Structure 1
Amino acid sequence: MKLIFLHSSDTHGFLLPTDYQTAGDYTSPIGLSRVSAVIKAEREKYGAENVIVTDAGDCLQGSPLASYAHSTENMADLDVFTQAYNLIGYDARCLGNHDFNFGLDYLAYYVDNNKAPIINDNILDAETSTPAFGKEYEIIERNGIKIGLLGIATQYIPHWESKDHIQGLSFKSAYEQIKHYAKILRPQVDILAVMYHGGFESDPQTGEATEPHRGENEGYKILTKIPEVDLMLTGHQHRRLNMVVDNTALVQPGYRGEAVAKIEVEIDDQTKKITNLTTSLIDTKDYQPDPKMVSLVSDLDRRTQAWLDQPIATINEPAPIENAMKGRLEGAPFINLLQQMQMWFTKADVSATAVMSEKAKGFGKQVTLRDVILNYPYANQLCRVKLTGKELRNIIEHSLSFLQEDEAGNITFLDRWIKPKPQLYHFDVFYPVNYEADISKPVGERLISLTLNGQEIDDDKIYHLAVNNYRAMGGGFYPEYSMDKIEFTLDKDYVQMFTEYLTEADIKVDTNKNYKFL
């Protein structure tokens, strides 16, 4: 007997095959409508009774369509969004960290109107210690085979979300919760699968650490220390993974619906034991979008495209970024403009930001909402953080640890920030401080100079830093940041801030370069 598991994750609200870079272009090799077509084809191939379909979250935020659906404050638009996911016919789902970005009321509506059971083992009601959403597990039966499904999310959500978005919730270790529930569920089922909105802190095959083991990703620990688990259906890291390690199959299907992960489970008819596991990734680009989903979403998409093309401001001079990589290493007017905006809102002394999109092109003289969202696609909020000069110096030194000098003497990024998952959104640059760094020096000792308004940064002096809430709450494994150092958080997202800043501020785009890596 053979059962087929199909798994999606991190679709981020990309329902149609467009990245919204160009109005009217629906040829992108992504989107939930393509995912739907893959799943329909696989059900047709194997028979629906032999197929189990799961999803590991991060659906509500990430695309311009998702941003527009939230911006209208009309639950009818969220309902269309929700029904698109219902069209897939998932057997079970779990939540992701970005599903909390628009607040608990928004998330609750989505969960309540979701036809698939939401499985949630580690996001608990702080008072009752019971699941705040969904239930602990699901048991489904296919051809006499009992399949147990557990669902968990990264416990790191409180490090990124504002307090009102997680009010009354308690986040537990994914590893500890799966360890607990696996012992309960395993005796009741023939196959135990875990949907995990989280990834791997170490290489699944070699065990080599790929990031600090701080709890954001606990996949390797689950893989190696909880033998009851047969299948790991993962997400969060946007990686393309499919392998079998020590009789456990693990998959992760990339980002924005670029692929559907597939696990073929062969089972002995008599003993009901697993005899073989095979994993693969099905690229969705080879499938035409599901016409039912296209029809369902078309009006919401049409309104999204019109919304994106609204001009929100005209600025005196363009603020381009030639390309993301060059901008990180050399600076760019758009990066400076973003820093200037953060300082305008916070009245901070210093600002920190990363280049948030690999496709960032900055702004021309006329700026539309499409420009803003494509340059800054995340639903972050802006904070002001209180730091000593020494703490600021340590933060900058950490960002410099991303860099290396190659054999030809060029400054490049360490492979660990590019592979297995690109993470250069963690690399911050700072403004209006002037700083130089010698990358040939040891990590932690690279800053040659660091001045603000012509004065050397004083280790003992207090400075105020403007930075997004993701970083201020610990994202990126930076030192020195902590909740108690956050002075305030603005109740605005970056679309709102850019709209206000570009229309109300007296803007002079700074085209100077204020940092140099030697």
Structure 2
Amino acid sequence: MPKFEGKIMKLVFLHSSDTHGFLLPTDYQNKNNYEAPFSLSRVSTAIKTEKNKFGADHVVVTDAGDCLQGSPLASYAHSTGDYRDLVIFTEAYNKVGYDARCLGNHDFNFGQDYLTYYIDNNKAPIINDNILDAETNVPAFGKEYQIIEKSGIKIGILGITTQYIPHWEPKENIAGLKFISAYEQIKHYTKILKPKVDILAVIYHGGFESDPVTGEVTEPHRGENEGYKILTEIPEVDVFLTGHQHRRLNVVSKNTAIVQPGYRGEAIAEVMLDIDEKTKKINSMSTRLIDTKDYEPDPEIVELVHNLDERTQKWLDQPIANLSEPAPIEDAMKGRLQGAPFINLLQQMQLWFTKADVSATAVMSEKAKGFGKEVTMRDVLLNYPYANQLCRVKLTGKQLRHIIEHSASFLKKDTDGKIKFLDRWIKPKPLLYHFDVFYPIEYEADISKPAGERLTKLVLNGKPIEDNKIYHLAVNNYRAMGGGFYPEYSMDKIEFTLDKDYVQMFSEYLTHGSIKVDTKHNYRFY
């Protein structure tokens, strides 16, 4: 451990977020490949290496959630119904040695019983300031703050989660809970905690609605991400440890160190503070991201989850169904713009379950390849990795038109005439899972026209969509409850939600009888 001479000492924060259950360095596309440049096991080694470099009494280790859902291993651990598998899964996170954590929105995907068991088996304190018991208005779980002392420096830690969870989760997953503005709660708790500590850090499973340096608006200010408001209006925050948006972010702005370490454990974020030992004031601050690809997987985690991982691989290779013809998607980007048999198959399935008039879906994975003739569990999870449910929504023709126009607004026409996505849907983080296409409705959009006025054709079963007529739309609950900043969607328009996830639906749909995959293209952008 290095000696800190003079009156300046170093305090280091090491931060992870959005590992999404990728405990080992594999994306499960190839069952024999464990060389992926991410994973909790690589995060663990990177953190332990940095912690050893500076000394444990100079390091605070944090995580901003989204751990329980996202990887095939996480899906399998939940599918067994055996909480001993959840204990193994949770123990992997315990091996990292976190000092404090908060929860992410996807940690609610499997319901409160599962989440509570996870919290109870988590060794690090869960800090929760804005998810309240609806009756008592006190934090529903975890603790309001944590004070840690490192080398005589008192560090106060607050924890918050995006308030937008009720827009995405089914009611039963959040029953009895109240979700409060992250900004309002940090404003409140800062007054309580700041006088007690030398350094104030906030762990936030949420991101930035405006650029943290320039202030340029990057998304509608609807409350999902309140980072910029917190940054600019609560100056007491010294260290801002964020997540949710899967961004790679490390800046110092407004006298605050701000970090976000990407996705799946591809990096850890480091905040370094030089602190005057006498006054306990910050002398300087810096931030950086440390890629985990350069660190070997932590052998303790590898050994711990080895059996769970083996069982996951066998589960993934289970055949679900055999199709009479394949349903491929040649390329995710091309599929979005031109259509693909797999997209149509997904839409056909949504219509079959809901008996709706129209279906909407996005291409959920950049690595989606669709289905061959034999469909396995691996195929389903790699093409549709989210734990969504399917809804039927009641809309007027005019409302449906507005929704499709919004989707068409994602696009631009280059000088060479090629149709492409606007940069804001690509950078700083790809957001193309928000781009929906619609079926079997036939529609065309002239991208040279102003956004909102692009549809030149909108026809269903040979008849133009009528503004005042009622239509029924099949769409996942994330979108139906407001995800993606679409107009017209609201909870009161949801007619019903299926009590099945997409793995269950594919299993049932693909085995119910002979299926003819529709290969026609029903939409065109020009």
TM tier, shorter chain?
over 0.9
What is the distance in 1 between the residues matched to 2:48 and 2:157?
A: 22
- Structure 1 position 505, deviation (Å): 3.7
Q: Which residue of 1 aligns with 2:204?
A: 196
Q: Which residue of 1 aligns with 2:6?
A: none
Question: Does the residue aligned with 2:524 lie in a helix, a strand or coil?
Answer: strand
Structure 1 unmatched ranges of 5 or more = none
Two-structure CA RMSD over aligned residues (Å): 0.5
Q: Which residue of 2 aligns with 1:120?
A: 128
What is the distance in 2 between the residues matched to 1:314 and 1:272?
A: 66
Question: Does the residue aligned with 2:249 lie in a helix, a strand or coil?
Answer: strand
- Structure 1 position 40, deviation (Å): 1.0
Matches within 5 A, 1:349-360: 349-360=357-368
Question: Does the residue aligned with 2:95 lie in a helix, a strand or coil?
Answer: helix
Equivalent residue letter for 1:447: L
Q: Which residue of 2 aligns with 1:93?
A: 101
Q: Does 2:147 align with 1:134?
A: no
Q: Does 2:489 align with 1:481?
A: yes
- Structure 1 position 471, deviation (Å): 0.1
Q: Which residue of 2 aligns with 1:506?
A: 514
Q: Which residue of 2 aligns with 1:8?
A: 16
Q: Residue 37 of structure 2 is aligned with which of 29, 42, 50?
A: 29
What is the distance in 2 between the residues matched to 1:301 and 1:277?
A: 40
Q: Which residue of 1 aligns with 2:431?
A: 423
What is the distance in 1 between the residues matched to 2:511 and 2:57?
A: 57
Question: Does the residue aligned with 2:511 lie in a helix, a strand or coil?
Answer: helix
What is the distance in 2 between the residues matched to 1:385 and 1:451?
A: 19
Q: Which residue of 2 aligns with 1:103?
A: 111
Q: Does 2:210 align with 1:213?
A: no
Q: Which residue of 2 aligns with 1:228?
A: 236
What is the distance in 2 between the residues matched to 1:189 and 1:432?
A: 60
- Structure 1 position 49, deviation (Å): 1.3
Q: Does 2:372 align with 1:364?
A: yes
Q: Deviations over 1:141-183 (max 9, x none)?
A: 0111000000000000000000000000000000010011011
Question: Cα gap change, 1:125/1:7 in structure 2, threshold over 3 Å: closer, same or farther?
Answer: same
Q: Which residue of 1 aligns with 2:5?
A: none
Equivalent residue letter for 2:509: Y
Q: Which residue of 2 aligns with 1:328?
A: 336
- Structure 1 position 246, deviation (Å): 2.0
Q: Does 2:59 align with 1:48?
A: no
Q: Which residue of 1 aligns with 2:504?
A: 496
Q: Deviations over 1:8-41 (max 9, x none)?
A: 0000000000011101100000100000000111
Q: Which residue of 1 aligns with 2:152?
A: 144
- Structure 1 position 55, deviation (Å): 0.2
> Runs in 1 of length 4+ with deviation above 3 angstroms?
none
Question: Does the residue aligned with 1:14 lie in a helix, a strand or coil?
Answer: coil
Q: Deviations over 1:462-494 (max 9, x none)?
A: 111000000000000001111111000000000
Q: Does 2:330 align with 1:283?
A: no
Q: Deviations over 1:110-137 (max 9, x none)?
A: 0011000000000000000000110110
- Structure 1 position 76, deviation (Å): 0.4
Question: Does the residue aligned with 1:275 lie in a helix, a strand or coil?
Answer: strand
Q: Which residue of 1 aligns with 2:4?
A: none
Q: Which residue of 1 aligns with 2:248?
A: 240
Q: Deviations over 1:31-59 (max 9, x none)?
A: 00000000111111111111100000000
- Structure 1 position 227, deviation (Å): 0.5
What is the distance in 2 between the residues matched to 1:416 and 1:291?
A: 40
What is the distance in 2 between the residues matched to 1:84 and 1:496?
A: 28
Q: Does 2:53 align with 1:66?
A: no
Q: Which residue of 1 aligns with 2:353?
A: 345
Count residues in correspondence: 518
What is the distance in 1 between the residues matched to 2:236 and 2:52?
A: 31
What is the distance in 2 between the residues matched to 1:318 and 1:255?
A: 31
Q: Which residue of 1 aligns with 2:90?
A: 82
Q: Does 2:270 align with 1:270?
A: no
Question: Does the residue aligned with 1:504 lie in a helix, a strand or coil?
Answer: coil
What is the distance in 2 between the residues matched to 1:458 and 1:319?
A: 32
Identity of aligned residues (%): 78
What is the distance in 2 between the residues matched to 1:222 and 1:212?
A: 16
Q: Which residue of 2 aligns with 1:435?
A: 443
- Structure 1 position 506, deviation (Å): 2.8
Q: Does 2:281 align with 1:296?
A: no
What is the distance in 2 between the residues matched to 1:147 and 1:296?
A: 32
Q: Residue 468 of structure 2 is aligned with which of 460, 479, 489?
A: 460
What is the distance in 2 between the residues matched to 1:58 and 1:359?
A: 21
TM-score (normalised: structure 2):
0.98
Question: Does the residue aligned with 1:503 lie in a helix, a strand or coil?
Answer: coil
What is the distance in 2 between the residues matched to 1:505 and 1:126?
A: 46
Q: Which residue of 2 aligns with 1:405?
A: 413
Equivalent residue letter for 1:341: M
